[in-house]
Structures are given as C-alpha cells and as structure tokens.
Amino acid sequence: MRRICKDERRIQSVNSSEEMAVSGMSAGRSAMRMGPAELVQAAAMARRFYLEGKSKIQIAEEFGVSRFKVARVLETALERDLVRIEIRVPAELDAERSDALRARYGLRHAVVVESPAEAEESPDPENLGEVAADLLGELVTEGDVLGLAWGRSTIHMAAALDRLPPCTVVQLTGVYDAGTAERGSVEAVRRAAQVSGGDAHPIYAPMLLPDAATAAALRHQTGIARAFEYFDKVTVACVSIGSWEAGISTVHDMLTEEERSHYASLGVAAEMSAHLFDAEGRRVGRDLGERCITVKADQLRRIPEVVAIAGGQRKAAAIDAVLRSGLVTSLVTDTSAADSLLMAGPAPRHALNRADPDGP
C-alpha cells in the first residue's frame, strides 16, 4: 500500500509530452494575444518552476528579467490554462471528506479511507489500521512515549507498523480477556516497541474488574504500576471507539445485562478506553472507571496527540460523541462513517478546543 506523506499533494504541470497544455493557435487567441515568443517563454518558465523546482529568482536570472515579471508570467499561465495544476492523493484516501471532517470537529488531522465494498457494514475495516500505522509513522518522533489502548483497530494498526522512530511504548488499558493477551493489546505494544527499537511496558491484567477494590489492588502491582507511571509522559496515543451495543464495544460485552441496562439508562452512546460518553460528548457512568485498569480521561486530555481509529456506519454516532468530548485530536475513519458524521447537524459545540464539556 502507498505510504501517507506529510504533503499528500502532487502538483503537476503539463505540456503535450509532459502534460502541459499549450494549445497553439486557440491558446494564442485567448491568452491576451500572447505571441509565439511569449507562449514559448511562458511554457519554459512554467516548466522550470513546476517541473524542475527552480525558484522565481533563478528563473529570472536565466531569462534576464525581474522575479516580478516571472511571477506575472506564471500567474498568466495559470489564468490562461497554459498550466493545469492537479491535486492528487492515493486512490484509497478521500482528501475532500478528510478536510471537511478536520474542519467540522476542529481536529489536527483527519484521514478518511475509502470503505471496502465488501465490508461496508463492518466496524473498523482492517485497512484503517494500515493507514493509521502510516499516520503514526509521521506523528511519532524520536524520544516520544507512544500509548496504545485496547481495541481491534489498534491491534490491526500495530500489526501493520513497519517504521517508527525510537520511542517508548506503553499500554494504556488492560486487556479484554487476559487469556488472549498474547494476541491482543499486549502483543500490539510489543510489536510497536520492536519496530521502534524502544522499551515496551505492557499490562498483564483485565480491563474490567469485579469491583473498585480489586482494581485498586492491581494498580499497585509492580508491572502495572510501572506502566501507569508513564501515563503522564505519553505524547502520542492511539485509541479505539465503541458504540454501546453488542459486538461493537468490548466494555459493553464484558458487563452483565443488568449493568448494561443501568448505563444505557444514563444515555451512553459511546465508549473509549472504558470511559462512557453520551451523545453530546459528556462523560457518564464514571463509577465504571473505578473498576477498570485504564488511563484516566484527564490524562488523555493532556496528551498532545490522541489518534482515534474507528469506522463503519454503525459506529458513526459513537465517533461523533467521542469527538465532541474534546479528548481526541486526530481521527482515522472511512467514507461510510464520514458521510454520516458530515450530515450530523450543526458543528460540535466544543470543536477547536479540548476543554472538558462537563466543566472543571
């Protein structure tokens, strides 16, 4: 798959052999009566600037004119269709939806991936993890502390990683099932650390415990306590989002039917790292966090870059809720979810800042 570059835009300038459209007589008539010498010079200057990467000063020196003249010629070439500029991204990325989502929710980065036709109704298609792996390759710098929360999408992301600068990797939540740790978030942390060459700090404990006392006792165990010490040092975090329904939220699936009904009565619309949110992005059911091995919401809010990976139309409302919370700075999603998010009514009240919607 093609890698995401920091500048996805490719500017192409074309002539008859290099995709630059200089159309002879018809162009001459329409381009303010530019004569053949002017047309040739304009094409040459455009070729130097757009294809060869020369500066306007360099072009001015070569042609013996001022750089202001060069700027005017290039501007005229664009206006008169002597030069055509195209902005392209890899086929699997949707630049227009990405930019619209970024603006709507005040995100730092939004990357929308084409939804695979065969997985249109499935949450978190695997290709989201591949794109998220590329995005982390851009965002993580040497010396960062990378935090990974439990989730199918983060596991897919870790499996797709093939480049990371040297960094420490820490697990931000316990696991869905301690018996599957080797195939889940523990393995994701190990994989990311292996790719980066940094230290790994996994958590060998369930995410949800029977009661708050048991959870508190586990947090003081040496290995878990060591991982928790890194939570306030995390600079880039990767999280998943779940909607409050069976099979779409691991936390939902871990609770009893009575507990699910209780939290549903509080208006839960989404779950992220064992934190529950209503449709407006307000945290509800905070008592659940006392029973969980997970990073605190306030700690997530202080992390400079929090990347959420979530897609599928079934998760759209949950994604909207979590984005409204202000805890997430960047999103990797698909066109199916993006279309629902872009039609979800007025822009979020808390866009463009990470203030707690519940107040101080």
Q: Where are the domains of the chain?
A: 36-80, 93-343
The residues pairing with 229 across neighbouring beta strands, listed in sequence order, are none
pLDDT exceeds 60 at position 31:
no
Least confident window among 44-58, 100-114, 124-138? 124-138
Cα distances from 15 to residues 9, 12, 22, 47, in angstroms, run 20, 10, 6, 9
Nearest to 347 by CA among 318, 315, 310, 320: 320
Q: Where is pLDDT greater, at 9 or 255?
A: 255
Q: Is CATH 1.10.10 the right assignment for the domain spanning 36-80?
A: yes
- Two tokens, residue 32: 């303010």
pLDDT grade for 23, boundaries at 50, 70 and 90:
very low
Confidence at residue 33, expressed as pLDDT on a 0 to 100 scale: 63
Percent of the chain with pLDDT over 70: 80
CA distance 135 to 161: 10
The one-letter amino acid at 256: T
Q: Is 309 helix (H, G, I), strand (E, B) or coil?
A: strand
Token representation of residue 35: 């004569």
Instruction: Return the CATH architecture of domain 93-343.
Output: 3-Layer(aba) Sandwich (3.40)
Strand partners, 294: 173
Nearest to 350 by CA among 330, 328, 331, 324: 324
Whole-model pTM: value is 0.73
pLDDT > 90: percent of the chain: 52
Q: Phi/psi zone of residue 50: left (φ > 0), alpha (ψ -120 to 50 degrees), beta? A: alpha
Give the least confident one: 24-33, 38-47, 120-129, 347-356: 24-33
Among candidates 269, 202, 207, 273, which has minimal Cα distance to 240?
273
C-alpha separations of 307 from 41, 123, 140, 247 in Å: 48, 17, 11, 22
State residue 10's pLDDT score.
35
**Lowest mean pLDDT across 175-179, 252-256, 313-317:** 175-179
What average pLDDT does the structure give for the chain? 82
Amino acid 290 reads: E
Rounded average pLDDT over 293-299 = 94
Q: What is the pLDDT of residue 79?
A: 86
Query: pLDDT class for 87, splitting at 50, 70, 90?
Result: low
**pLDDT for position 313:** 87
Instruction: Look at residue 154 and give its three-state secondary structure.
Output: helix
Amino acid at 241: I
CB burial string 264-278: b at 16+ within 10 A, e below? eeebbbbbbbbbbbb
Ranges assigned E (strand) in 114-187: 145-148, 168-171
Q: Is-contact 221 228, C-beta < 8 A? A: no
Report the pLDDT value the prediction gives residue 353, as an integer from 0 to 100: 59
E-strand ranges in the chain read: 109-113, 145-148, 168-171, 200-201, 236-240, 242-243, 270-272, 275-277, 283-284, 305-309, 330-334
CA–CA dist 186, 320 (Å, integer):
28
Side chain identity at residue 165, one-letter code: P
